[in-house]
Structures are given as structure tokens and as C-alpha cells.
Amino acid sequence: MTDNIQGKVVVITGASSGNGEATARHLAERGAIVVLGARRKERIEKLAADLTAAGHKAMAIETDVTDREQVSRLVDTAVESFGRIDVLLNNAGLMPLAPMERRKVDEWDTMIDVNLKGTLYGIAAALPHMQAKKSGHIINVSSVYGHKLGPDATVYCATKFGVRALSEGLRQEMTPYNIRTTVISPGAVATELLDRIGEQDIREQTQDFVSKIAIPAESFARMVAFAVNEPEDVDVNEILFRPTAQPI
């Protein structure tokens, strides 16, 4: 069996909970060096401490992905500390659902800043290091809602369709540099994502639906591990997965 995870330096944004935390744990257990970025400093520091105590290698760096300089610092610190960056997981994301007629413009701005611009800032920070050594892997997170529109999710869908578009463009442009590009689109996964839905009626409705079918965040972590673990000449470009019970 190919072991292409052992010893890799993996930078993860949105690592304080949910899919990011689960992926950090899973990859660290398989021998990766994980560099954790998130706004919630206490959470990622505890996660890094837990992983280190278990004999793994981990580092926590407080990072707000809407701040380009902070994202650059996250990546540069990983390179300074461990000599390189092998994988960047652009995982940070928000999903404050609401009908467009409610004109939650501040929420639109935040989703664009985190879901799209945050992903772009990660790419911008990682590319020079990966291009220099002609090796690397950038994993961006879209959603089932990056493939289809859902109720009250128009702007969120737009950001996640955008992540898929920029991922494919990146793949094409990075072929000469041997940089792999993957976009992962999860369906209903049990995370804290729904807690940030500000509209109470939409939040309760969505939580009720998701709670009945959601699969654990470890399923997302396994998808990341699958893509990373493939040999360097194999580029897993897109993974779309859902709970078996999810009809949409």
C-alpha cells in the first residue's frame, strides 16, 4: 500500500473544529506534520498539544483567513519551521444561509471574504514555495452546494461554485510545476458550520434536516487522506460525497 502521507508538512485552515480538526488528527496519526491555522487560538493550541502529547508533530498559529498577511504568516512559518509545505488544505468556510430577499449583505460580504478570498489568500501564500520545488498539493473545499443550488443558499452556492472554478483553473496553470490540485465537495457532515446561520428559522430548519442524516467529520478526513496518499503522478482533481441517506 502506498504511504504518501508519512512526513508530509500539511497546513490546514479552519483547523479548530469540524472537518479541519478531524483531518488534522487523521493525518497526524498517519505520520504527517500538521500546521494548524484558525481564529480560535485556544482550540488549535489545545489540539496541537494533544497531538504532540500523543507523539505526533503539530504546530498552532492563530490565523484569520480574511487577513492576507496572517495567511502568509501561517504558510511561511510552516516552511521556516519544517523546511517546506507539501499540502495546503483551504478548509475555512462559513454558511450563513438566508433568502436573498432578506438582504443580509454583511453576511454576503463575509462569505465572499472567507470562502473565496480566504481560499485565494492560501493559494497565493503557498504557490511560491511549491513552484520553487516543483512539488505540492493544494486542496480546496467546496460543497454539494458547489454543484447545485439549494434553498436559501444562493450566495453560499455562488462562493462554492467559485471555489470549484478557481480550483480547475489552478490545476491547469500548475501542471508545468507538478502541483496537484483537489477540490472536495462534502454533503451533510456533522460540524459547527450550521451554528453560524444567523436567521433562527433557517438555522433550526437546516439543523433538523442535517441532524437526521449527517455523517461524522472523520469521513471528510478520509477523503483528504485518500487524495494526499495517491502517488505523486496521480492527481485526484475532485471528490464529491454525501451521506447515503442524503437525497439532494
Q: The domain containing residue 115 runs over which residues?
A: 9-241
Does 126 reside within a domain?
yes
Instruction: Flag whether 104 is in a domain.
Output: yes
1 in any annotated domain: no
pLDDT at 2 (0 to 100): 60
Look at residue 4 and tell me if it is in a domain. no
Question: What is the per-residue pLDDT across 91-105, written as a single tens digit (0 to 9) for each?
Answer: 999 989 889 999 999
User: Is 177 designated active site?
Assistant: no
What pLDDT score does 114 carry? 97
Q: Does 247 fall in a domain?
A: no
Give the number of domains in the chain: 1
- For residue 105, give the CATH number of its domain: 3.40.50.720
- Predicted model pTM: 0.95
86 within domain boundaries: yes
57 within a domain of the structure (yes/no): yes
Query: Is 80 exceeded by the pLDDT of residue 223?
Result: yes
Tell me whether residue 3 is in a domain: no
Nine-digit cell string for 158: 455562488
Is residue 1 pLDDT above 60, yes or no?
Answer: no
